[in-house]
Amino acid sequence: MSIKDYMDDLEDLLDQAHPIPFVSHKVIIDGERMQELINAARQDIPSEISRAKAINDECDQVIERAKLKAERIIQEAEIRSRFPEAFTGWSNQLHRSTEYAEQYSGSTFCYAVYLQ
């Protein structure tokens, strides 16, 4: 059960409690059941916290990878803006190589696999 489930059960226990006559803000509850719910919640809290920490750590890793990728994209864009002729030539060469591969193999896929 999750902590929320335990809280819901405690709330149900309170809702089912019987009021004490002449004292509107006090009720009689099943003490044994309440103690069971509290003990079970205490045992499950560490696992709930461990799961939440693992999720939080995973999110931090995803964010860090995204930041690194964004930095690489920015750096590449800066380099391309400083030296556009270098990338224009490379693009033309790739285009000619692709045409050559298509001519002899009939497929750009073969050429792409070869590059990898």
Q: Is 6 within 8 Å of 44 (Cβ atoms)?
A: yes
- Pairwise CA distance, residues 29 & 10, whole Å: 10
How far apart CA 2 and CA 47 sit, in angstroms, is 9
> Which comes out higher in pLDDT, residue 41 or 91?
41
Q: Write out pLDDT tens, residues 5-26.
A: 888 999 999 998 888 888 878 8
**Average per-residue pLDDT for the chain:** 79
Q: Assess whether pLDDT exceeds 50 at residue 108.
A: no
pLDDT, tens digit (0-9, with 9 covering 90-100), for 58-75: 999 999 999 999 998 998
What single-letter amino acid sits at 50?
A: S
pTM for this prediction: 0.43
What share of the chain in percent tops pLDDT 90? 25
The CA distance from 33 to 50, in Å, is 27
Q: DSSP secondary structure string, 57-91?
A: HHHHHHHHHHHHHHHHHHHHHHHHHH-HHHHHHHH
The answer to whether residue 97 scores a pLDDT higher than 90 is no
CA distance 18 to 27: 5
Cα Dmax for the chain? 97
When mean pLDDT is compared across 52-56, 64-68, 84-88, 110-114, the lowest value belongs to 110-114
